[in-house]
Amino acid sequence: MTQRELVALTGLPLGAVREMIPRLEADGLISTLPQRGLQVAAVDLRLVHEAFQLREIIETAAVAHFARTAPAALVASLRAAHARISEAAETGVTEALIAEAQATDWGFHDAIVGHLGNGLVSEIHRVNLIRIRVIMQSRVALSPEVLPPAFAEHAAILSAVEDRDAEAAAAALRRHLETSRRRALGLDTGREADRREVPASPDVDGREAPSSLDSNGREAPASRDSNGREAPSRRTA
């Protein structure tokens, strides 16, 4: 891997990547090979689990605070950015749209954590995300298959934030991070997620949460038969 490939992977400028390399080497995540570039260490499953656990601790606390205190204008700008990309994806996912969506994805999480106003937490979070991206590489990146369900999960988080429901926002974010973790470990792919209905998860009161979301992250209306009765849900293999 070259430094420029690391720039594309992390979303950081080249200068910041060069500053990060000694820390990544100290963590044992990469090593510098003379005349060959950077070599990424083999995947350490324990490190992956710990990195995602740290991410959940930080982001769930942050999104609860965000739901309670984020300015309406900031929430509206995040919603508009997501809606624009989701609408564009309906007519086809291009490489340019993937790049824009990836930047929006990273910016969404950065905005939530940054709103805490805690520089130490933001730095820990930034380094941890770089750690995840370096280890898992393409598995944590968006793709044409992953983009729609990932942005639907973001929309669910935003819906809870718009309702100023901190508990629901934290629960929606946990579900989103669990999907990301499974994808990073190769346990789930965007294509499978498109084909299968996501199992319902209990909400904070123990009730079954909706598993079908519209483009705004809200529960889609149940389908009904010709007699007006609710039709049974169908699952595909």
pLDDT in tens, 15-71: 888 888 888 888 777 888 887 788 877 667 888 889 999 999 999 999 999 999 999
**Does residue 227 sit within a domain?**
no
Considering the domain architecture, whether residues 12 and 108 belong to the same structural domain is answered as: no
Considering the domain architecture, whether residues 29 and 138 belong to the same structural domain is answered as: no
Considering the domain architecture, whether residues 33 and 83 belong to the same structural domain is answered as: no
Q: What is the DSSP string of 186-230?
A: TS--HHHHHHSPPPP-B-TTSPBPPS-B-TTSSBPPPPB-TTSPB
Read off the pTM: 0.71
Considering the domain architecture, whether residues 36 and 109 belong to the same structural domain is answered as: no
Considering the domain architecture, whether residues 72 and 173 belong to the same structural domain is answered as: yes
Higher pLDDT, 118 or 180: 118
For 10, the domain range is: 1-41
Q: What is the DSSP letter of 37?
A: E
Considering the domain architecture, whether residues 187 and 87 belong to the same structural domain is answered as: yes
Q: What is the pLDDT of residues 109-124, one digit of tens each?
A: 999 999 999 999 999 9
